[in-house]
Amino acid sequence: MKYRKLGRTGLNVSEIGMGLEHLLDKDEQVVVDTIRAAITGGVNYLDCHVGHDFKEDSIPYEGYNKLGKALEGLRDDIFISYVTYYKDRTAGFTQPRFDYFLQAVKTTHVDVFMIQFCDKNDDYTQVMGKGGALEHAKKLQAEGKVRHIGIATHSSSIANNAIASGEFDVLMYPVNPAFDVITDEEQYKITDNLANLWDAAHDFTDKDKNNSHHRKNVFQECESKNIGLIAMKIFAGGVIFDWEKEAGFTPINLTSYALAQNGVSTVVPGCTKPQEINEILKYCQATEGERDYSAAVAKSRWRVAGNCIYCNHCLPCDAGINISQINRLIDAAYHNADTNAKGTHEKYHMLQAKASACIECGVCVERCPFNVKVIERMKQAVELFDL
């Protein structure tokens, strides 16, 4: 298992985390065995989202007791994200559930307090307003019960607003090749109905392939603002496997795809039994071929020509240029004129071979499955970072 910094929190989280949404209602032994299998495999980030938070009569919640049993003697080895549902709820509704969670898990604090399901503009206004979720989270933080505050959304506009506010240390956001290509969220009314996100991905056709990855700007902003990015829905709820059965998507190469995107610290697939987390953990020992997602993306409806997806098929470069890494730095900086603020200059100048070393041989262009104009991109990098 490899570990990455969760943005400015400084937490060193495992590349593979685990979501507990569909686990904590299982039999206690299944819960214990699944969580212990994850931790044994190196997982140290648990996303504690549970459906009980929607219900009025959900205290006490037995799932928290099961989680506490699974974590006996292990609390100091893992990071816990407490994910709570705030729509039309008050602090009076949330506080007793949170207190019960701390008691059941035998801990004094959570590492991330995640405000979930903030997908509509009215939701975001409520979260940010007086007496809203953010105010409550800050109170808990001041009391030492919360270390860092996060927000979860499927909407890029809300994600960008949350990032720009400077109030959140962590963002949980979908990352997968189906959702990443959606360019017109207003047309599909993503903030009106979450199901429309799946519809937009399913209906994606050649007419939509305008060489834009609009939603990926969220990744770049997290990178530039040092916001920890938690990748959720890395399988798009599993529908990727149904929609594109012949493309060759697997849990391993979709995990690889998510972890390859700028800003991503960890992925949090949901698991319901030890076998499922063990399947995901095979990523850690997978070969480069098993992790390669480029062929599957290229065969799928979500292939967008001209956009680098960091698959490294352009390598090796005869001039020693790490083309994929330079493309990452361009993407992280290019949509904002203030590239110095992003730390991209520093990262660029740490590279052994700069874009200016390009000899324009064109071999990388021939290798690229997505027709990226690599030579032009290297010239862009020179203009951004060398001049």
Name all domains of the chain by residue range, CATH numbers in brackets: 3-299 (3.20.20.100), 323-386 (no CATH)
| pLDDT score recorded for residue 113 | 97
Q: How far apart are CA 51 and CA 67, in angstroms?
A: 15
> Do 124 and 158 meet the contact criterion of CB atoms below 8 Å apart?
yes
Q: Decide which of 96 and 213 is more confident.
A: 96
| pLDDT score recorded for residue 304 | 82
Token duo for residue 296? 């599957």
Q: Backbone dihedral region of 211: left (phi > 0), alpha (psi from -120 to 50 degrees) or beta?
A: left
Q: How far apart are CA 126 and CA 116, in angstroms?
A: 13
Single-letter code of the amino acid located at 22? H
pTM comes to: 0.90
**Beta-strand relationship, 228-232 and 264-267:** parallel
pLDDT at position 187 over 90: no
**Nearest C-alpha neighbor of 158 from the set 185, 196, 187, 188:** 185
| pLDDT score recorded for residue 94 | 82
| pLDDT score recorded for residue 288 | 95
User: Treating both helix axes as pointing N-terminal to C-terminal, what angle do 216-225 and 156-165 enclose, rounded to 10 degrees?
Assistant: 10
In b/e form, how buried is each residue of 232-271, taking b as 16+ CB within 10 angstroms?
Answer: bbbbbeeebeebbeebebbbbbbbbbbbbbbbbbbbbbbb
- For 54-92, the pLDDT digits (tens) are 566 667 788 899 999 999 999 999 999 999 877 666 777
Token duo for residue 56? 């009025």
